[in-house]
Amino acid sequence: MATMQAVRTGSAAGARRRRVSKRHQRRAILVFLGPFLTLFAVFYLVPIVYSVYQSLLKVERVGAFGAPREIFGGLAQYQQVFASEDFWASISRVLLFFCVSIPVQLGLALVFALLLDSAVPKWRRFFRLTFFAPYAVPGVIAALTWGFLYVPSLSPFPAVAENANLLGSGLVMFSIANVVNWVYTGYNMLIIYSALQAIPGELTEAARVDGAGQFRIAWSIKIPLVVPALILTGVFSIIGTLQLFNEPTVFRLFSNAVASNYTPNMIVYATSNIPNYHLAAAYSVVLALATCVLSFLFLKITQRRAFG
């Protein structure tokens, strides 16, 4: 009887210790996650909720000279967004920009990463820094630098700049794409290069023993194993393309082919300068949803083709 009582007492004490341990674990999780959750809520969730709230308002005046007041407008702002030809034309323009720019950018990033992975070790750090250096240049500075190279009266190659007309309506998109590729190729290269570093050395060593050369190893082993990194850089590129703002805004200084409605973000900026914050908020919400949908579709399509 005394033995049974001791067993029950021990079991109860063990259960109490486990409950206390779990309570301490939950507190520790909250302490560690607290700073992140706070910043995530303040700088991510609250602005989204506030933008959605602002997009549901509109300004109303009593009479021609009455004081403006904000009232609930329902989906009135969204009706203007979906009826805006300029907005959808800008969406089409950045999607075309994506098709023009991103394949070149990711292709160069992949080639540079493969070259770094197979280069002589003593030069690896030098080339890695050289390729990554343009990413350290702010986008506005990069656009100004390349813009001066494109202007015939300022370019050190005036004959080329004048004959090619790089700032005309036919080529200005390619000129902007060149700036974006120059800045971001090194950034994407580092992501792909990090994925290459995670490939087990036994795989490439076994391929060499079987007589495979560098090209064969890259094509059959390295590239298939870095597909997830390529998909990740593709998603980053979709988000960055739809947020295109700095480069075309700077190019307005040099080219008449770039208007204030050239990209969706420029339309949001111009609308908020009127000021019409409620319509700008509706543009922002629709743009964010379009970015999420396109990123999701890209992930689904590429993952299905890559992993079956």
> What is the number of structural domains in the chain?
2
Tell me, yes or no, whether 103 and 115 share the same domain.
yes
- Quick one: 55 exposed, middle or buried, by C-beta within 10 A (0-12, 13-18, 19+)? buried
Tell me, yes or no, whether 172 and 191 share the same domain.
yes
Tell whether omega for the bond before 275 is within 30 degrees of 0, i.e. cis.
Answer: yes
Tell me, yes or no, whether 229 and 82 share the same domain.
yes
Which domain does 65 fall in, by range? Answer: 22-73
Tell me, yes or no, whether 192 and 220 share the same domain.
yes
Contact 230, 106 (CB under 8 A): yes
pLDDT range class, residue 19, cuts 50, 70, 90 = confident
Tell me, yes or no, whether 65 and 170 share the same domain.
no
Q: What are the angstrom distances between the C-alpha of 116 and each of 46, 103, 137, 164, 215?
A: 42, 20, 22, 34, 13
pLDDT at 25: 87
Determine, yes or no, domain membership for 14. Answer: no
| Separation of alpha carbons 52 and 25, rounded Å | 37
Tell me, yes or no, whether 100 and 162 share the same domain.
yes
pLDDT range class, residue 22, cuts 50, 70, 90 = confident
Choose among 81, 59, 91: nearest CA to 283: 81
Determine, yes or no, domain membership for 4. Answer: no
Determine the Cα angle at 236 with ends 269 and 55, to 5°. 35
pLDDT range class, residue 12, cuts 50, 70, 90 = confident
pLDDT at 5: 67
Tell me, yes or no, whether 149 and 98 share the same domain.
yes
Mean pLDDT lowest for which of 42-51, 111-120, 206-215, 253-262? 111-120
Choose among 211, 263, 227: nearest CA to 101: 263
Determine, yes or no, domain membership for 2. Answer: no
User: Considering the entire predicted model, what is its pTM?
Assistant: 0.80
CA atoms within 13 A on the CB side of 126: 5
- Residues 114-148 have pLDDT tens digits of 988 875 666 778 888 888 899 999 889 999 999 98
Tell me, yes or no, whether 173 and 135 share the same domain.
yes
Answer whether residue 111 shows pLDDT above 70: yes
- Quick one: 56 exposed, middle or buried, by C-beta within 10 A (0-12, 13-18, 19+)? middle
CATH code of 172's domain: 1.10.3720.10
Tell me, yes or no, whether 176 and 67 share the same domain.
no
Q: Which residue has the higher pLDDT, 202 or 16?
A: 202
Determine, yes or no, domain membership for 1. Answer: no
| Separation of alpha carbons 81 and 302, rounded Å | 30
pLDDT range class, residue 305, cuts 50, 70, 90 = low
Tell me, yes or no, whether 42 and 152 share the same domain.
no
Q: What are the angstrom distances between the C-alpha of 67 and each of 61, 63, 111?
A: 6, 9, 61
Determine, yes or no, domain membership for 12. Answer: no
Q: What share of the chain is helix, strand, coil (3-state, %, to 5)?
A: 80, 5, 20
Choose among 155, 146, 165, 160: nearest CA to 248: 146
